[in-house]
């Protein structure tokens, strides 16, 4: 048996139409599981699914706006009734609103916290309830951030939300360990995605990232995707409550 394989499983990935989420879905799709892709835009989901059906056994699309946090539990129950309960949940959907803390609107703050933290909590516990009721273990992999442990000016909502993701990962890990539900997080450094396109386009900022990062480059979605596959596999069967920083060495230096 290959301990790094994820064959015969069903994995749900949020934020799966682009960036880190799509990279994770691509990597998982090459390792055996069927996929449920979650995102707001059905057309983009279908485009991603068409690509991923070349490698994954089955690919389902599940359009939903996770900002509708009060509707997550009902939507998830309906989804499971149609395609089955996932074995793996990857909480990758996220957003950021940048600006000075004194200038940001409360609406911006609430939106970032709602998607990055509240939606993650609601979906994770809906998932865990089904797994506990069915008496089987599962994996939850959250996408945290470099901002889970550090901060920079202009990122207060995002930093707060990702700090919460780190602590939520630990809290759920210790609460659900007795049920065989392993909860871990991957914390990316600066990754070349649409979410960071304005930063990448800023030549001075992009040069600073490359100089500050010991590996001398922006990360890619693939750099995050394969550690997620590891956490989803039996090779990580004795890991829970961990936050793994995949940041090119960023936090190791100053």
Catalytic residues: 158
CA–CA gap between residue 168 and residue 164 (Å, rounded): 6
CA–CA gap between residue 25 and residue 51 (Å, rounded): 10
Residue among 241, 66, 99 nearest 168 (CA): 241
Q: Which residues contact 236 (CB under 8 A, 6 or more apart)?
A: 139, 182, 184, 230
Residue among 125, 52, 53 nearest 89 (CA): 125
Determine how many CB atoms are found less than 10 A away from the CB of residue 50: 11
CA–CA gap between residue 76 and residue 203 (Å, rounded): 42
């Amino acid at each position: 048996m290959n301990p790094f394989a994820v064959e015969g499983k069903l994995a749900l990935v949020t934020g799966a139409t682009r960036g880190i989420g799509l990279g994770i879905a691509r990597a998982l799709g090459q390792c055996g599981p069927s996929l449920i892709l979650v995102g707001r835009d059905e057309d983009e989901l279908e485009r991603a699914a068409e690509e991923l059906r070349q490698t994954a056994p089955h690919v389902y699309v599940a359009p939903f706006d996770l900002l509708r946090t009060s509707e997550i539990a009902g939507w998830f129950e309906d989804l499971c009734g149609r395609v089955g309960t996932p074995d793996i949940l990857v909480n990758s959907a996220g957003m950021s609103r940048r600006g000075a803390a004194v200038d940001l609107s409360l609406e911006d703050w609430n939106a970032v916290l709602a998607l990055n933290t509240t939606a993650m909590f609601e979906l994770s516990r809906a998932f865990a309830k089904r797994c506990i009721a069915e008496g089987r273990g599962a994996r939850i992999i959250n996408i945290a951030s470099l901002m889970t442990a550090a901060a920079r000016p202009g990122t207060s909502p995002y930093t707060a939300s990702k700090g919460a993701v780190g602590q939520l990962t630990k809290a759920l890990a210790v609460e659900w360990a007795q049920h065989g539900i392993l909860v871990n997080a991957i914390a990316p450094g600066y990754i070349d995605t649409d979410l960071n396109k304005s930063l990448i386009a800023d030549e001075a900022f992009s040069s600073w990232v490359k100089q500050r990062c010991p590996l001398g480059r922006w990360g890619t979605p693939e750099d995050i995707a394969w550690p997620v596959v590891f956490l989803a596999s039996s090779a990580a069967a004795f890991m829970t409550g961990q936050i793994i920083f995949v940041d090119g060495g960023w936090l190791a230096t100053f």
